[in-house]
Structure 1
Amino acid sequence: MSTQRLSPPSAFVRHAVLLITGALILIPFVWMVSLSIKPPGEIFRASFSFWPEHFYGVENYTRALTGSPLPRYMLNGVIVCAAILALQIAICTPAAYALAKLDFPGRNLLFALVLIALLLPHEVLALPLFILGAKLGILNSYAALVFPYVVSPFGIFLFRQFFKTIPDDVVHAARLDGFSELAIVWRIMVPMALPAIIAFGIFSVVSHWNSLFWPLIAVSDQTLMPPPLGILVFKNEEAGNDYGPLMAASTLVVAPLIVAFLSAQRWFVEGLTGGAVK
């Protein structure tokens, strides 16, 4: 298939728009890192400079790590995000396979319900989920942070779209070899859909690592708080109006997400575009 080359003015405009958009997105992060290495006297100056006159990064990052149990908050985030992602893959993958490759009554209705669920903000379900958590007695625990997210409509949709691109002959051949439907899912479909799983994993981890609303009402024990809620407590109890340590804590919380995304960006793009082929 032939590709159409853009004229030089069109290419210039496109790249200019991309650069401006990228700069606008990066400005808050650059400002956050800059404030994290500045002393209090330089934070509220009218003129902005990225590098401070007096480097204060050691003091700010030391206070961020010692003024609150930030390592504990980040460990909680790892535990919660890993548990959510593992359960989501375990549940969403067979569901997506059924919607993509199995023919049964009500399949289209179920897929329509998945699409409707995509439109519902999670905050709408906060009250019934809170009541359900209270009835089950799991509030103020890791289970309270995990169970509302184990079924992901976006995960089912993304995996279903990717599975649709896999030829049916592959599934038929596996059945002739004696594979059960679950064996087909885990031994054939999942390895072939690895880019989609990695892309979904990045979405899932970023979303739940940064989640604040549900943890704010689900847990009150500081030993269970994820990073965003921990930073909120750190701001109220330790940092006060001293934004240097607060920005240092925020930088430490954001850094793992940036590293993870940069490490998996090739699979991320491939996973998102793979389901758009069909």
Structure 2
Amino acid sequence: MRTARTLVEDTPRLALLSLGACIMLAPYVWMFFASLKPGSEVFRDSLTLWPETFYAVENYTKALTAVPLARFLLNGVLVCSLILVFQIAFAVPAAYALAKLRWRGREWAFGLVMLGLLIPYHVPALPLYVGAARLGLLDSFTALVVPFSISVFGIFLFRQAFRALPDELMQAARIDGMGEFSIVWRVVMPNAWPAATAFATFSIVAHWNDLFWPLIIVQSPQMATPALGVLFFRAEEAGNDVGALMAAAVLVTAPMIALFLLAQRHFIRGIATAGLKG
């Protein structure tokens, strides 16, 4: 009886969440089925998803051969991986210092971190571009990675997660003779994997889908990231072939969907853990 009552009480909430999920998934569902159709069927008056003429082989073959899409995906993996490594390397020690060490000006420093969250990354784009141009770094992995090596959001997220850890854990490590550097990476970080997973998901998805900065800094198709690669594909090869363009978009977005499905449990846990203690 209690289970039935709980189900009845949760029905409106579940219905609302299901409606929101359907709205969010609708573009992806349309994109996938459009990638199975010839271009002439995509914009017909009918709303049927399943193609009358199965054109998937042609669309996906063109997406993989017309431009170096595999190279775009590899560039995305390399850029996102390097950015994530540098972000964690800088964010974790900074977050530990803000969460567990007592020093003068700590709260002011955290206030500056919060202030940094309010600044869109589009704002420093022009001076960063000028600096990269003067250093001869345009159209390079360095220019794609370095501006995002320090994540203010990462510092904030890890700081919140570290504050939820008991101080006795660090005190016991100090009694055992461990230094602060060892405590960060050998004690604190292994206990904050959910937060690390959540941050990694945020970071990889954001930079995999980023078009703004690569569009500014990249000049040759060989250096294009996935989002920019789809733009190059449309401009140079696909033209009005919407089916092939949708196939390229499916191939670009599929790794991110798979990543989120694999990490969703740790992602939700990490977000919840980061908000346990202010």
SS in 1 for 2:67: coil
Q: Indicate the residue corresponding to 2:271 in structure 1.
A: 272
Q: Indicate the residue corresponding to 2:63 in structure 1.
A: 64
Tell me the distance in 1 between the aligned counterparts of 2:179 and 2:6.
Answer: 54
Q: Indicate the residue corresponding to 1:168 in structure 2.
A: 167
Tell me the distance in 2 between the aligned counterparts of 1:230 and 1:40.
Answer: 20
Q: Indicate the residue corresponding to 1:250 in structure 2.
A: 249
The count of aligned residue pairs is 276
SS in 1 for 2:122: helix
Q: CA RMSD in A?
A: 1.6
Question: 1:175: how far off?
Answer: 1.0
Please give the residue correspondences for 1:5-154 in structure 2 after superposition, counting only pairs within 5 Å: 10-154=9-153
Question: 1:131: how far off?
Answer: 1.7
Question: 1:135: how far off?
Answer: 2.9
Long gaps (5+) in structure 2? none
Tell me the distance in 2 between the aligned counterparts of 1:104 and 1:233.
Answer: 50
Q: Indicate the residue corresponding to 2:199 in structure 1.
A: 200
Q: Indicate the residue corresponding to 1:158 in structure 2.
A: 157
Q: Indicate the residue corresponding to 1:179 in structure 2.
A: 178
Tell me the distance in 2 between the aligned counterparts of 1:169 and 1:102.
Answer: 13
Q: Indicate the residue corresponding to 1:217 in structure 2.
A: 216
Tell me the distance in 2 between the aligned counterparts of 1:132 and 1:181.
Answer: 35
TM-score by length of 2: 0.96
Between 1:5-14 and 1:198-207, the stretch displaced more is: 5-14
Question: 1:136: how far off?
Answer: 2.7
Tell me the distance in 2 between the aligned counterparts of 1:212 and 1:247.
Answer: 17
Question: 1:235: how far off?
Answer: 0.3
1:131-187 superposed Cα distances (whole Å, 9 cap, x missing partner): 222233212100000011010011000000000011111111111111111100010
TM-score by length of 1: 0.96
Quick one: percent identity of the two aligned structures? 52
Q: Indicate the residue corresponding to 1:235 in structure 2.
A: 234
1:100-134 superposed Cα distances (whole Å, 9 cap, x missing partner): 00111111111111111111111111111112222
Q: CA distance change for structure 1 residues 233 and 6 in 2, over 3 Å: closer, same or farther?
A: farther
Question: 1:10: how far off?
Answer: 4.3
Long gaps (5+) in structure 1? none
Tell me the distance in 2 between the aligned counterparts of 1:132 and 1:109.
Answer: 29
